[in-house]
């Protein structure tokens, strides 16, 4: 195992993929909780380490550190329940799924207590993921999108901002669609 294969002291495990096609650029992307670095094949480890540190800082600043596992998502749901619903909500499961369409970011089935969040949220800012989580938790008390539902959701202070973000993401997908 080289030094580049070891997990960093903080944050995410790092996986470096070297490519002969890359000449100068280095990119980073979070994939299932792993920071995947794509770098030129010719770049030495000592050149790459400070670049990786810089990319980690940039990703951290963007707030894209949402929980990457269902266990961490469950813990976050418990925190949101305590903070915005006085701990009174009960559910069977909260987890990420990969089968939600482009315009859907979450779902709740109140009758069986299941909440599903799109895996795409794990790469979005934490405050957006938290909004969707609060939105779906609110459905455990109010199944529709009526005034009582929105009163519950609006306890989350970044609701309007997160909804705008998700609308923009949705529009970007529609405008960028080539079909």
pLDDT of residue 56: 83
Is residue 10 over pLDDT 50? no
CB neighbourhood size of 149 (10 A)? 16
CB neighbourhood size of 114 (10 A)? 16
pLDDT of residue 62: 65
Is residue 54 over pLDDT 60? yes
The contacts found for 85-89 with CB under 8 angstroms, 24 or more apart, are 85/137, 85/138, 85/141, 85/152, 89/137, 89/140, 89/141
pLDDT of residue 63: 55
Confidence band of 48 (pLDDT split at 50, 70, 90)? very high
pLDDT digits (tens, 9 = 90+) for 30-43: 765 678 899 999 99
pTM of the model: 0.62
156, HSE (Cβ side, Cα atoms, 13 Å): 29
Q: What value does the mean pLDDT take over residues 137-151?
A: 95
Q: Which fold has domain 70-175?
A: Zincin-like (3.30.2010)
What mean pLDDT is reported for the chain?
82
The pair of structure tokens assigned to 14 is 């790092």
- Residue spans in the chain of domains classed CATH 3.30.2010.10: 70-175
């Amino acid at each position: 195992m080289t030094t580049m294969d070891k997990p960093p002291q903080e944050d995410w495990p790092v996986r470096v993929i070297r490519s002969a096609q890359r000449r100068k650029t280095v990119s980073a992307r979070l994939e299932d909780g792993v920071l995947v670095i794509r770098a030129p094949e010719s770049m030495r480890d000592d050149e790459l380490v400070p670049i990786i540190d810089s990319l980690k800082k940039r990703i951290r600043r963007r707030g894209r550190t949402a929980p990457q596992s269902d266990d961490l998502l469950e813990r976050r749901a418990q925190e949101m329940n305590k903070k915005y619903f006085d701990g009174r909500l009960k559910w069977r499961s909260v987890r990420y799924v990969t089968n939600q369409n482009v315009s859907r970011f979450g779902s709740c089935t109140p009758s069986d207590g299941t909440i599903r969040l799109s895996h795409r949220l794990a790469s979005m800012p934490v405050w957006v993921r938290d909004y969707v989580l609060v939105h779906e938790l609110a459905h455990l008390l109010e199944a529709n999108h009526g005034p009582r539902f929105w009163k519950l959701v609006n306890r989350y202070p970044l609701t309007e901002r997160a909804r705008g973000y998700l609308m923009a993401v949705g529009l970007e997908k529609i405008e960028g669609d080539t079909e």
